[in-house]
Amino acid sequence: QVQLAESGGGLVQPGGSLRLSCESSRPIFSISTTSWYRQAPGKQRELVASLSSGGRTNYDDSVKGRFTIGRDNAKNTVYLQMTSLKPEDTAVYYCNVDLPPPSRIAFWGQGTQVTVSS
């Protein structure tokens, strides 16, 4: 069983920065695709960024150039570095891990709140 725990959320002013972390109870990031999602009240959960086991990254257009996803396999941790934050970035951010075949099992964390406001 894999457990994911997000941390690093909080309140920040527009233009500020935050670094989110996702720690896994098992060393699975090196062989998995990891993604960050976010969900604002009344809105559907959306994909923010993803990182494949091979190092390929993908970003939503709304955060491209401002957010960076990375990982430290030795620490069993995936990061989301957020800069130039905007009020519309306010949401609960979730870490997601998809294990490779044959299992193809998905795991989710409980989420961490990010609030961008003056």
For 47-64, write each residue's pLDDT tens digit. Answer: 999 999 899 999 999 999
- Rounded CA separation 4/109 (Å): 5
* Reported confidence tier of residue 4, pLDDT bands at 50, 70, 90: very high
How do 10-12 and 46-51 pair as beta strands? unpaired
For 58-85, write each residue's pLDDT tens digit. Answer: 999 999 999 999 999 889 999 999 999 9
Give the start-end residues of each E strand in the chain.
4-7, 10-12, 18-24, 33-39, 46-51, 57-59, 67-72, 77-82, 91-98, 106-108, 112-116
* Reported confidence tier of residue 29, pLDDT bands at 50, 70, 90: confident
Sign of the CA dihedral 21, 26, 28, 33? Answer: negative
* Reported confidence tier of residue 101, pLDDT bands at 50, 70, 90: confident
Residue with the bigger pLDDT between 1 and 88: it is: 88
* Reported confidence tier of residue 10, pLDDT bands at 50, 70, 90: very high
How do 57-59 and 33-39 pair as beta strands? unpaired
Say how many residues make up the chain.
Answer: 118
β-bridge partners, 57: 51
* Reported confidence tier of residue 100, pLDDT bands at 50, 70, 90: confident
Q: What is the pLDDT of residue 104?
A: 86
